[in-house]
């Protein structure tokens, strides 16, 4: 999976029909930004036309496709991309063939390769280039064939040397042969405490792939898995080590029906704040999965757990609530790693919720979560997908040293 928002270059190589393109699309599937596909193939016969059309159908409408056989850098440099974007270039081998068939000299090809590498390095998001291993078979019979083989091998080495990751696909199985800024054997870490590339990728995959899920499968969750995500929540940071949280795990259908009724009434009241198209869009949204999810979890905060004076809390009393939110986020990310969806239901009367669950007056419900397996995780947040709101650019949210002072030159 591509880690959204992280600049990365990935080279995928392998033999013909080894699964390269399919794996590239799989890596990009959860990118929240724009998806660009740069195809170098030319329609020279009916078979090629059929292959190109098949690939278009496999990608779907979410991809913006560009077809260019020679001047790839010009296309890359005109893309309206950002750190969330992903670009798949398919493929380098055909591009080299196109240049040779256009009578490009070796000097021109070398120059084109250098310029393309520079464009790839400056692409702000994730750049995935597909290529082929053409030197593992028989020696080509013609001088042009041997020139093509040699050039393709040299270009592959150049890209593999400069790209962050290299993946070899064999019979549909992707094998990572280079990870991070170097191979697994020679990669040096910036700190003795730094995670390995694979561990970092898993963490960021959970962060960027987390979604507020509303559609759940009825499949039961193994108790060991429930325990694991609760342990993750319980290991959240808390100011003064107060650990103010409790977790009420709910699987009783009658209790869930009462909570669902609470939601319905609160949702009707919330809808009155909108009108016209906004109200129509609001009414079309599914904002809970209380009955469908096999379990619900209510996360609470005991504001008196550690007594009246908690280390670090005297000047900011709400740090107990903040700490409980950290536990919620830990649970959410652990659930995503376990393949579980989580949906936070905030449209509830808290007083009615406390009454149904028997929560004491002094305890504050912080989050009501629906938890369960789901058929899919959306590629982008639901509210962004339906046009309710847009993700704010990070560069507009970062100041340097003082409020409203530009971070340009610092980031």
- CATH number for the domain harbouring residue 100: 3.40.50.300
- Report whether pLDDT(207) > 80: yes
Give the pLDDT mean for 166-190: 73
**Domain co-membership, 335 together with 246:** yes
Name the average pLDDT for the chain.
89
In b/e form, how buried is each residue of 300-322, taking b as 16+ CB within 10 angstroms? Answer: bbbbebbeeebeebeeeeebbeb
**Domain co-membership, 84 together with 144:** yes
Please check whether residue 26 lies inside any domain of the structure. yes
Please check whether residue 398 lies inside any domain of the structure. no
Please check whether residue 365 lies inside any domain of the structure. yes
**Domain co-membership, 71 together with 187:** yes
Strands 363-373, 340-344: pairing kind? antiparallel
Give the model confidence (pLDDT) of 355-408 as tens digits. Answer: 999 999 999 999 999 999 999 998 889 999 899 998 888 878 889 999 999 887
Across 53-57, 94-98, 143-147, 397-401, least confident range:
53-57
3 state SS of 105:
coil
Give the model confidence (pLDDT) of 299-333 as tens digits. Answer: 999 999 988 889 999 899 999 999 999 999 999 99
* Predicted local confidence at residue 2, as pLDDT: 55
**Domain co-membership, 170 together with 267:** no
Number of domains in the chain: 2
* Predicted local confidence at residue 5, as pLDDT: 52
**Domain co-membership, 214 together with 162:** no
Give the pLDDT mean for 30-46: 80
Rounded distance between C-alpha atoms, residue 13 and residue 15, angstroms:
7
CA 139 to chain CA mean position, Å: 42
**Domain co-membership, 56 together with 187:** yes
CATH number assigned to the domain comprising residue 239: 3.40.109.10
In Å, how far are 167, 181, 193 from 196, measured between CA atoms?
17, 11, 9
* Predicted local confidence at residue 180, as pLDDT: 67
**Domain co-membership, 23 together with 156:** yes
In Å, how far are 37, 103, 155 from 109, measured between CA atoms?
22, 10, 10
Please check whether residue 115 lies inside any domain of the structure. yes
* Predicted local confidence at residue 189, as pLDDT: 57
Percent of the chain with pLDDT over 70: 92
Please check whether residue 410 lies inside any domain of the structure. no
**Domain co-membership, 157 together with 253:** no
* Predicted local confidence at residue 29, as pLDDT: 76
Please check whether residue 170 lies inside any domain of the structure. yes
Q: Which of 140, 342, 316 is nearest to 225 (CA)?
A: 342
Give the model confidence (pLDDT) of 82-92 as tens digits. Answer: 788 899 999 89
Kindly indicate the confidence band of residue 184, based on its pLDDT and cuts at 50, 70 and 90: very low
Task: Quickly count: other Cβ atoms within 10 Å of residue 61's Cβ.
Answer: 6
**Domain co-membership, 164 together with 255:** no
**Domain co-membership, 271 together with 344:** yes
Kindly indicate the confidence band of residue 30, based on its pLDDT and cuts at 50, 70 and 90: low
Full domain range(s) for residue 251:
210-377
**Domain co-membership, 22 together with 97:** yes
- Report whether pLDDT(4) > 70: no
Give the pLDDT mean for 164-188: 75
Please check whether residue 72 lies inside any domain of the structure. yes
On whether the CB atoms of residues 166 and 158 are closer than 8 A, the answer is no
- Report whether pLDDT(182) > 50: no
* Predicted local confidence at residue 367, as pLDDT: 98
Task: Quickly count: other Cβ atoms within 10 Å of residue 347's Cβ.
Answer: 17
């Amino acid at each position: 999976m591509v880690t959204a928002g992280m600049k990365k270059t990935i080279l995928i190589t392998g033999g013909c029909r080894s699964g390269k393109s399919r794996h590239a699309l799989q890596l990009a599937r959860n990118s929240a930004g724009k998806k660009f596909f740069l195809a170098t193939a030319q329609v020279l016969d009916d078979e090629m036309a059929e292959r190109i059309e098949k690939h278009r159908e496999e990608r779907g409408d979410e991809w913006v496709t560009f077809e260019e056989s020679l001047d790839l850098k010009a296309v890359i440099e005109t893309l309206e991309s950002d750190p969330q974007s992903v670009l798949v270039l398919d493929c380098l081998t055909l591009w080299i063939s196109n240049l040779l068939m256009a009578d490009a000299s070796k000097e021109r090809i070398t120059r084109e390769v250098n310029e393309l590498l520079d464009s790839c390095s400056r692409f702000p998001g994730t750049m995935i280039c597909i290529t082929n291993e053409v030197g593992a078979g028989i020696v080509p019979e013609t001088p042009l064939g041997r020139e093509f083989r040699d050039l393709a091998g040299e270009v592959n080495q150049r890209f593999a040397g400069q790209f962050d990751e290299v993946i070899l696909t064999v019979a549909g199985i992707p094998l990572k042969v280079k990870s991070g800024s170097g191979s697994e054997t020679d990669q040096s870490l910036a700190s003795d405490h730094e995670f390995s590339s694979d561990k970092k990728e898993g963490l960021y995959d959970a962060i960027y792939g987390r979604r507020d899920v509303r559609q759940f499968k009825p499949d039961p969750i193994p108790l060991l898995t429930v325990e694991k995500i609760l342990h993750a929540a319980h290991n959240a940071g808390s100011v003064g080590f107060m650990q103010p949280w409790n977790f009420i795990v709910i699987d009783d259908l009658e209790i869930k029906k009462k909570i669902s009724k609470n939601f319905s009434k609160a949702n009707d009241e919330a809808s009155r704040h909108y009108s016209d198209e906004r109200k129509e869009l609001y009414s079309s949204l599914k904002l809970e999965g209380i009955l469908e999810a096999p379990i619900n979890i209510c996360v609470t905060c005991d504001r008196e757990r550690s007594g009246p004076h908690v280390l670090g809390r005297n000047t900011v009393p709400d740090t107990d609530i903040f700490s409980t939110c950290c536990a919620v986020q830990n649970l959410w990310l652990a659930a995503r790693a376990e393949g579980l969806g989580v949906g936070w239901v905030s449209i509830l009367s808290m007083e009615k919720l406390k009454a149904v669950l028997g929560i004491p007056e002094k305890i504050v419900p912080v989050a009501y979560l629906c938890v369960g397996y789901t058929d899919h995780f959306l590629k982008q947040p639901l509210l962004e997908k339906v046009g309710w709101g847009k993700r704010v650019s990070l560069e507009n949210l970062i100041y340097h040293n003082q409020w409203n002072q530009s971070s340009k030159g610092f980031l």
